[in-house]
Structure 1
Amino acid sequence: MMKTNIAICLFVIVVNVFSGNICKAAEAPPEITAKSAIVIEAMTGKVLYAKDAEERRYPASTTKIMTLITALEYGKMDDIVTASENAANTEGSSLWLSKGETLTMRDMLYGIMLVSGNDATVSVAEHISGSVDEFAKLMTEKAHLIGAVSTNFTNSSGLPDPNHYSTAHDLARIAAYGYKNDEFRKIVSTKNIIIPWPGKEHDRDLYNENRLLWLYDGANGVKTGYTDAAGRCLVSGAQRHGIQLVAVVLDSERMWDDSMVLLDYGFKQVRLMTVFRKGDILKTVAVSNGEAKSVQLMTSADINIPVTEEEKNQIHTVIDVESKVEAPLDSGQKLGVVRIYYKDKEIAAADLVAVEAVAHKSFFTKVWSSLWNIFTFVLHNFA
C-alpha cells in the first residue's frame, strides 16, 4: 500500500457547534481527597489531570475491570459456567452462588460488574483458565499489552495481596481500552438487570453499585472498590458530545465527589473537532483497464477527534491506498483507509470509497483506443 501523509495544517478543522470557543482561560486544578487520581481522554489517552497517578496501590474491586476484559476476550458469552465449591466459598462481596450452580458467562459478568460478586470472578476464572492463578496471569499479560506495565494481578476479585497492585494511570488505561468493546460498554453502563437464580422462587435483581450512573450526566461506567488496605476506590467513565473520559480515584475519602470534580474538569479541557466529514474527497487514484482513467476517493464517515488547543500540531493523517486500482469499480467500493494519529497512536480511521463507478474497458473500446493512439502518433510525427 502506498501511504500519503497529510499534515493537519493542510485541512480545515471545524469545531462542532456545541463545543464553543476552544480558547478559554486555564481552569484551576481540582481539589480532591484521593491519595492517587487521574482523568484521561479515552481515545487518545491524553492525561488531563494527575495526582500521584504512577504510585502503586491496591486496586480492590476495580480489578474486576480487567477480569471483565479478559473474560470478554478469552471466553464466550453464551458459555454455561458452573460455580465450584471454591467459588461458592469465596470471601467478600458475593453473588450468592451455590456449589454446582450454573449461569451463562454473560450473567456472571453482570454479577461481577454490578454487585462485585467475588464468587462469580472465581467461577469465570476457573471456567476460562482452570484456576484463578492462571487466569490472573492472563489478566496481567493483557494489562501489560494495553500499556499498564506497573500492574500485577494475583486474583480475579481484587482481594488484598502484597503482589496484587496497580496505579491510577494503569487503571485508566485499562478502562479506556475496555471502552473499545461494545459488550464492555453495555455491561459497565447497565444500572439494573434481572438474572436467573436457579432453585429460588425469584430471580436476582441486580442494581449497579456505581452511583455515578444516577448522579452524573453522561456517566457510563465503570467500577467501585473497597478494602481496608485500598480505601475507597472508583474508576468512573462518562461520555458527552462524543468525548469519553475515564477518571480514577484511589484511597479517597469522598470518592463520588472527587470523581465528579475530575470529570467536570476533564470536560472543560477537551473539545470535539471534525477532521473530515463524510463525503470529503481526499485523493484521486489511477484506474487500469477502466472507461475512466482515474477515480476520486471520499471518506465514508465523519472523523471527529477530541483535542486540546495545544495538541493540534501533534495530530496527522495517513492515507493507505494503492497507487493504481483495477476496473471495474462500484460506486462506494472501499479502496483505501484514512487514519488519524495522535503522536504515534492511531486514534481514528475511516474507509475511503469510490465516488463513482468505473466500468471495465470493453474489447471494442480497447481496440478503438489503440487505433486512436496510433492515429494521433502518426498525425503528430508525420504530418
Structure 2
Amino acid sequence: MRIALKFTLIFYIVLCLPVHTYAAFDDVSARNAVLIEQTSGRVLYEKMAHQSEKIASITKIMTALLATESGKMKEKVTISSNAVRVEGSSIYLKPGDKVVLEDLVYGLMLRSGNDAAHAIAEYVGGSVEGFVYMMNEKANEIGMKHTHFSNPSGLDGDGTHYSSAYDMAMLTRYAMNNTAFKKIFGTKSYQSESWDYPWKNKHKLLTFMYESTTGGKTGFTKKAGRTLVTTASKNGLDLIVVTLQASSDWDDHMYLFEQGFKQYKLTDILVKGGLRVEDGAYQNHLYIKNPLSYPLAKGEDRLVQVDVELVKQAKPKDGEVVGKAILRFDGKVVGQRNVFYSKKKQLQTTGVLWSDFKEVFSSMLGVKYDG
C-alpha cells in the first residue's frame, strides 16, 4: 500500500577546492557558433547560436540520418534524370544507374553530392516533397525550433530553407546515437564497388588537420558562406562544434575544441549500484542501473545538487521503481535516473562520487509522484 508521502534526499556538493574563474572564449570568425558536450547537451560556448540562417550542405546531416533510419541501406536505387540535373556538387550519377542506397549516403556525406541527396530523397521519401516533409517532422521531433527544410541538399532556395547553429548541433547530437550514421560521419575514405576510385572526405579536420576529430560535414554556398559541423573526442569528453558564415572555420573549430577539452571534464555524478539514503525502510535496498555524468569546469562542483525523491510503499517489489535521482546544475534540472528497490542489501556506493558532501533529509507532504 502506498503512503501519500514523498521523501527527498538532497546531496549538496561541498568540495574543498578553490573556485577557478575562466575567461570567456575569445571571439571566433563565425557569425554564428556553438560548442556543446554530446552526452549532456550542455552548451559550453555560443555566439548568436539560435539565430536562423542559411546552412548550405550541412543540411545533408538530416538527409543521411533519415536514410540510415529507413532500413533500406542495402537496397538498390534507380537514379532518375531529375536527380542527375540537380545543380551544385555531384558524384556524377547517370540516369538509369542502379546504386545501393548506402553508397549514395557515403557519396552524400564524403563528397557532398547534391545528385545523391536528390536520389536519396526520391527513394526514401517517395518524392522530394515527401522527403522534405519527413525532414521537417524529424526536426520537430528533435526540437529544432529555428529550422525549416525545403530541400535535401542545402541549396539556398527561396528563403524557406534555414536552421541555427544550436539546432544543427542538436541534430548532430541526435544522429551520433545512430550507429550507421556515426560510422559514415567519421569515414575518411570510401571505396564503392560501383566506382573505380575511392571517395575522400572533404572535411580536412577529419582527414588530417585535427587528430581528435571523429566526424563532420562541410557546407558552402555564396549566400550561406562557409558552414561546418565537427565532432571530436578526447579524454572521455565528446564535443560538437557548429559554425555558420565562418571565414576561418577550420581554426574556429580547433580553437573551440581545445578550449572545451582544456576547461571541462565529463564528471561522474551518480554511479551504477547501491544508493545510500537515511530512511529505515529503504536503507541499503536502493540502487540505480545507469550512471549519470555531466561536464564540469573547475570550481563548478559547488553548483551541483542531486535530489533523491522516493515514494513510500508498504511492500515494494524487487526491481520496482520507487523514486528518482534528479541532477541539478545551478538550480536547473539537467538529468535524472530511476531509483530501484532490491530485496537484497546493496553494496553502498553512496551514489555521488565526491569526497565530501552534506546530506539533508526532508519530507514533503501532498506532492504527487509522477512515476
Change over 3 Å in CA distance of 1:353–1:65 after alignment to 2: farther
Q: Which has the larger radius of gyration?
A: 1
Q: Is 2:242 the partner of 1:253?
A: no
Change over 3 Å in CA distance of 1:5–1:44 after alignment to 2: farther
Q: Deviations over 1:337-365 (max 9, x none)?
A: 866545776646478584849xxxxxxxx
State how far apart, in whole Å, the 2-side matches of 1:348 and 1:182 are: 24
The match for 1:107 among 103, 117, 124 is 103
Correspondence 1:358-377 to 2 at 5 A: none
State how far apart, in whole Å, the 1-side matches of 2:316 and 2:280 are: 6
Any conservation in 2 of the 1:36–1:51 contact (CA below 8 Å)? yes
Q: Corresponding residue for 2:210? A: 216
State how far apart, in whole Å, the 2-side matches of 1:66 and 1:320 are: 40
State how far apart, in whole Å, the 2-side matches of 1:256 and 1:77 are: 31
Q: Is 2:261 the partner of 1:278?
A: no
Aligned pair count reads: 337
Structure 1 residue runs without a partner (length 5+): 15-20, 288-292, 358-383
Q: Corresponding residue for 1:182? A: 179
Q: Cα RMSD over matched residues?
A: 3.5
Tell me the SS of whatever aligns to 2:191.
strand
For 1:123, the aligned partner's letter is A
Q: Corresponding residue for 2:156? A: 160
Change over 3 Å in CA distance of 1:314–1:279 after alignment to 2: closer
State how far apart, in whole Å, the 2-side matches of 1:100 and 1:224 are: 29
Report deviation, 1:125: 1.0
Change over 3 Å in CA distance of 1:342–1:144 after alignment to 2: farther
Q: Corresponding residue for 2:190? A: 193
Any conservation in 1 of the 2:276–2:283 contact (CA below 8 Å)? no
State how far apart, in whole Å, the 2-side matches of 1:91 and 1:114 are: 17
For 1:307, the aligned partner's letter is L
Report deviation, 1:52: 2.1
Report deviation, 1:150: 1.0
State how far apart, in whole Å, the 2-side matches of 1:345 and 1:182 are: 28
Any conservation in 1 of the 2:15–2:302 contact (CA below 8 Å)? no
Report deviation, 1:6: 4.4
TM, length-normalised to structure 1: 0.75
Correspondence 1:111-126 to 2 at 5 A: 111-126=107-122
Structure 2 residue runs without a partner (length 5+): 346-371
Larger RCO of the pair (alpha carbons < 8 Å, separation 6+): 2
Change over 3 Å in CA distance of 1:88–1:283 after alignment to 2: farther
State how far apart, in whole Å, the 2-side matches of 1:79 and 1:341 are: 44
Q: Corresponding residue for 1:372? A: none
Q: Is 2:234 the partner of 1:231?
A: no
Any conservation in 1 of the 2:274–2:285 contact (CA below 8 Å)? no
Q: Corresponding residue for 1:307? A: 296
State how far apart, in whole Å, the 1-side matches of 2:241 and 2:116 are: 26
State how far apart, in whole Å, the 1-side matches of 2:90 and 2:308 are: 49
Report deviation, 1:128: 1.7
Report deviation, 1:270: 2.2
Q: Deviations over 1:229-272 (max 9, x none)?
A: 11111111112223221111111111100111122222234222
Q: Is 2:170 the partner of 1:170?
A: no
Correspondence 1:1-383 to 2 at 5 A: 6-9=9-12, 23-161=19-157, 162-197=159-194, 202=196, 204-213=197-206, 214-282=208-276, 296-308=285-297, 309-310=299-300, 313=303, 316=306, 323=313, 324-326=315-317, 341=327, 347=335, 349=337, 352=340, 354=342, 356=344
Tell me the SS of whatever aligns to 2:285.
strand
Report deviation, 1:187: 1.8
TM, length-normalised to structure 2: 0.77
State how far apart, in whole Å, the 2-side matches of 1:245 and 1:301 are: 21
Change over 3 Å in CA distance of 1:6–1:185 after alignment to 2: farther
State how far apart, in whole Å, the 2-side matches of 1:269 and 1:171 are: 23
Any conservation in 2 of the 1:152–1:166 contact (CA below 8 Å)? yes
Comparing 71-80 with 150-159, which one deviates more in the overlay? 71-80
Tell me the SS of whatever aligns to 2:171.
helix
Q: Corresponding residue for 1:367? A: none
State how far apart, in whole Å, the 2-side matches of 1:13 and 1:104 are: 56
Q: Deviations over 1:84-141 (max 9, x none)?
A: 2211222211222222223333222222111112111111111121111221122122
For 2:292, the aligned partner's letter is I
Tell me the SS of whatever aligns to 1:53.
coil
